[in-house]
Amino acid sequence: MDLADETGIESVTMRALGRRLGVEAASLYNHVAGKDDLLDGMVELVVAEIDLPSGDAGWQDAMRRRAVSARAVFAVHPWAAALIDSRGRSGPSSLEYADRVLGVLLRAGFSPGTAANAFLALDSYVYGFERQRSNIAPADDEDSTAVAQEVLSAIPEGAYPSLARIATEYAVTPYDDAAAFDFGLGLILDSLGALLD
């Protein structure tokens, strides 16, 4: 996971991991069946870092805390959202995560089908936001207003008026990544809440 955090998930090979650990790549096969097994294990470790919802809060608060926690984990492991989406098998951490989330939704009164769809909608948003964020949000060390000014200056006069209007806004007012995330999450939670009402 450290290797992926430092150089990206595509750099994680058995050979690179062996070098990192100071062993021959072949010796790693005494511990994992192969790269797929390694990646599945990485997913399990990442999922285990996400706060599981508990029964001591309302369902919306529990889902919000879980989403914010997942987003914080993905900030530490930027490769994780895409990797989780790409894996077909679930281990104990992933199964516990799903069971706890679904349990909160079922106890709130959602039917099994609606609970499953709510879980899918929420996770699709969280994972998708993090995957898209790198395309629209400036890096942590960049000034969002400067980035917006660069975008604005690259737009030919009179072209792409809607994009220019948004860039003009963010050239003056810094982009708030957390507020953007909370906006979408709130829409989903409010819509799900309306289903229960």
DSSP reduced 3-state for 31: coil
What pTM was computed for the model? 0.84
Domain boundaries, the chain: 2-135+183-196, 138-174
- pLDDT (tens digit per residue) in 165-174: 988 888 888 8
Q: How confident is the model at residue 177 (pLDDT cuts 50, 70, 90)?
A: confident
Question: Does residue 140 register a pLDDT over 60?
Answer: no
Phi-psi region of 87 (alpha: psi -120 to 50; beta: other; left: phi over 0): beta
| Spatial separation of the C-alpha atoms in residues 194 and 197, rounded to whole Å | 5
| Spatial separation of the C-alpha atoms in residues 176 and 182, rounded to whole Å | 10
Q: At the topology level of CATH, where does 2-135+183-196 sit?
A: Tetracycline Repressor; domain 2 (1.10.357)
- pLDDT (tens digit per residue) in 79-104: 999 898 888 778 999 999 999 999 99
| Spatial separation of the C-alpha atoms in residues 58 and 192, rounded to whole Å | 13
For residue 137, the 8-state DSSP code is S
Provide the mean pLDDT of the chain: 90
Question: Does residue 147 register a pLDDT over 90?
Answer: no
User: What pLDDT is attached to residue 139?
Assistant: 58
User: What pLDDT is attached to residue 141?
Assistant: 54
User: What pLDDT is attached to residue 48?
Assistant: 96
